[in-house]
């Protein structure tokens, strides 16, 4: 199977040359329009921050029938990508237990026969082009979308030596304004990238700080919806704390953004190299606990009558995976890595469930 993102090549190569696709452009089924955070969409099927590197990627996946498209996380400054490798498969056929924090994941010796059933690990470091590059490209991405498709722009503040909590909050707010100005219809704060420094990747575990960031972004978003991308909550009580803190400020939260684990070679050395022992886990192996976290969040929203919507992500590659999230009450379902291996998944989902 030829992936649209060539994992053997650098991030910059894929940015400049991707997506790689030699297949057919199939007819996208026409489906009744639905509401997503006050916007009309052809479906509530989308792609989260990560795969859609620029406007060319946005346009391609829009043509393939994905209707909620998230421009890859950007910063207020240039940030280079980590060196290769950035994406590997791990030797895992079952579901990962998210509570066993010290369990190392082993690098797969062979490329999996079924990429959609695989579990992967990524180590990119949330690279970003400079605002002078990404802002006009976001505008281009917005123009490429068709009726019934919406553009989310994901942003993250950059941790710096000596920076304060308030400066981080202010930076998220400034980025919300920049994304809106560039053409975002929705802006997302990435609070949970599992392959960067804790100060950037574990913000979501701090309920008070998450609330402050949501408020700053709401103030600067000038009326467009604000999303918060969250990671896995081992402590379900903390889900309630975070949702309560951001309620009335964010329109929705996106969960679950994978988990961070050690990934090792057969000899126990770090698969991504020294200094990059921890990396993000995504794909099939994270679906069960992602669904569990989403269900818990939806129960809290209902019980406490919160105004938040829950956007689900985590290990979705089959119709039944998405169905579990939609049946639980998710406002939308995002496919993270699976569209890289099968860009026609949205078409397949729409054929079987036009109501999505």
Can you give the pLDDT at residue 197? 52
Entry pTM: 0.96
In the block, tokens 């990429």 appear at 115
Count of beta carbons in the 10 Å neighbourhood of residue 164 = 9
Q: Is the peptide bond before 19 cis (omega within 30 degrees of 0)?
A: yes
Can you give the pLDDT at residue 109? 87
- Gap between the Cα atoms of 311 and 242, Å rounded: 15
Element (H, E) at 40: strand 39-41
3-state secondary structure (DSSP) of residue 39: strand
- The residue ranges of every structural domain in the chain are 11-352
Can you give the pLDDT at residue 201? 63
Each residue's pLDDT, cut to its tens digit, for the chain (356 residues) gives 689 999 999 999 999 999 999 998 999 999 999 999 999 999 999 999 999 999 999 999 999 999 999 999 999 999 999 999 999 999 998 999 998 988 999 999 888 999 999 999 999 999 999 999 999 999 999 999 999 999 999 999 997 777 899 999 999 999 999 999 999 999 999 999 765 555 556 899 999 999 999 999 999 999 999 999 999 999 999 999 999 999 999 999 999 998 999 999 999 999 999 999 999 999 999 999 999 999 999 999 999 999 999 999 999 999 999 999 999 999 999 999 999 999 999 999 999 999 99
The residues that bridge with 74 in the sheet, in sequence order, are 155
- Gap between the Cα atoms of 254 and 25, Å rounded: 29
Q: Does 3.40.605.10 match the CATH number of domain 11-352?
A: no
Can you give the pLDDT at residue 163? 81
**Tokens found for residue 75:** 């910063």
**Tokens found for residue 284:** 């099939």
3-state secondary structure (DSSP) of residue 242: helix
Can you give the pLDDT at residue 101? 86
Sign of CA dihedral 259, 66, 86, 56: negative
C-alpha 203 chain-centroid distance: 15
Can you give the pLDDT at residue 3? 95
Inter-residue contact 193 to 73 (CB < 8 Å): yes
CA-based end-to-end distance of the chain:
27
Can you give the pLDDT at residue 195? 56
Can you give the pLDDT at residue 159? 79
Count of beta carbons in the 10 Å neighbourhood of residue 292 = 17
Distances (CA, A) of 317 to 173, 236, 284: 34, 25, 8
């Amino acid at each position: 199977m030829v992936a649209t993102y060539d994992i053997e090549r650098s991030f910059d190569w894929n940015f400049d040359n991707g997506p790689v696709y030699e297949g057919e452009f199939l007819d996208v089924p026409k489906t009744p329009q639905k509401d997503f955070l006050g916007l009309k969409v052809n479906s509530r099927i989308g792609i989260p921050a990560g795969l859609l590197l620029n406007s060319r990627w946005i346009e391609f996946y829009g043509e393939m029938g994905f209707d909620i498209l998230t421009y890859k996380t950007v910063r207020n400054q240039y940030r280079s990508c980590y060196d290769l490798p950035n994406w590997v498969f791990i030797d895992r056929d079952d579901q990962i237990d998210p509570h066993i924090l010290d369990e190392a994941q082993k690098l797969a010796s062979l490329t999996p026969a079924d990429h959609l059933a695989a579990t992967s690990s990524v180590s990119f470091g949330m690279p970003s082009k400079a605002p002078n590059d990404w802002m006009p490209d976001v505008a281009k991405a917005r123009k490429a979308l068709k009726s019934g498709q919406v553009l989310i722009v994901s942003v993250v503040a950059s941790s710096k030596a000596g920076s304060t909590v308030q400066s981080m909050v202010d930076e998220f707010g400034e980025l919300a304004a920049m994304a809106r100005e560039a053409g975002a219809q929705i802006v997302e704060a990435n609070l949970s990238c599992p392959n960067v420094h804790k100060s950037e990747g574990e913000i979501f575990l701090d309920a008070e700080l998450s609330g402050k960031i949501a408020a700053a972004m709401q103030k600067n978003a000038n009326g467009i919806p604000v999303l918060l991308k969250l990671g896995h909550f081992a402590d379900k009580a903390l889900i309630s704390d975070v949702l309560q803190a951001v309620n009335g400020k964010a329109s929705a939260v996106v969960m679950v953004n994978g988990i961070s684990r050690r990934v090792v070679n057969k000899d126990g050395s770090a698969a991504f190299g020294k200094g990059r022992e921890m990396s993000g886990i995504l794909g099939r192996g994270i679906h069960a606990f992602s669904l569990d976290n989403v269900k818990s969040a939806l129960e809290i929203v209902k019980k406490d009558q919160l105004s938040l919507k829950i956007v689900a992500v985590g290990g979705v590659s089959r119709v039944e995976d998405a169905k579990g999230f939609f049946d639980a009450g998710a406002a939308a379902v995002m496919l993270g890595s699976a569209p890289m291996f099968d860009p026609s998944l949205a078409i397949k989902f729409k054929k079987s469930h036009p109501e999505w």
